[in-house]
């Protein structure tokens, strides 16, 4: 949680991007709770920008810890901003992966009082991994776990 929300570098990067830091002031028990609240507060079009920016902050922090390479705050912001722009361009100009004629499948909320559990696993030579996500009946994530 600290590396994403409470980190000074993350605050500086988000400030360059024009983010209002008061949205990060509320205390949460988990990072997932904070991100869910951000999804409730922020416009759907802005949430990918926040996630891209935080992902770049996380990568920069890993580069510092594991490679001893410290990125400047402006560099982190520029990389996140460019990645977001490239993503939008890719979406606009790529061919659809699924034919528009195929039947649309969509995730459905579980009935009131129930939870939905999504499980996915991958198996490779000498490796395996899984992810589990538990959803509330209002569509928000209760918990998620994984092992790789």
Q: Which tens digit of pLDDT belongs to each residue from 20-48?
A: 766 666 677 777 777 777 777 777 667 77
Predicted confidence band at 67 (pLDDT cuts at 50, 70, 90)?
very high
Dist CA 100 CA 107 (whole Å): 18
- With residue 134 as reference, give the H or E element that holds it: strand 127-135
- Residue boundaries of the structural domains of the chain: 2-93, 116-147
List, as one string, the DSSP characters of 23-62: GG-S--SSHHHHHHHHHHHS-TTTHHHHHHHHHHHHHHHH
**Residue that has been written with the tokens 């009935």 in this structure:** 111
Does the pTM exceed 0.85?
no
């Amino acid at each position: 949680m600290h590396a994403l929300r409470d980190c000074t570098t993350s605050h500086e990067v988000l400030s360059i991007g024009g983010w209002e830091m008061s949205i990060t002031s509320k205390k949460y028990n988990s990072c997932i709770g904070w991100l869910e609240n951000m999804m409730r507060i922020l416009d759907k079009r802005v949430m990918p920008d926040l996630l891209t920016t935080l992902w770049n902050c996380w990568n920069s922090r890993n580069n510092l810890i594991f490679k001893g390479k410290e990125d400047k705050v402006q560099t982190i912001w520029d990389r996140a901003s460019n990645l977001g722009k490239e993503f939008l361009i890719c979406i606009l100009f790529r061919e659809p992966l699924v034919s528009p004629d195929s039947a649309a499948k969509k995730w459905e909320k579980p009935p009131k009082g129930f939870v939905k559990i999504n499980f996915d696993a991958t198996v490779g030579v000498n490796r395996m991994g899984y992810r589990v996500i538990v959803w509330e009946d209002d569509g928000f994530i209760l918990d998620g776990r994984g092992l790789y």
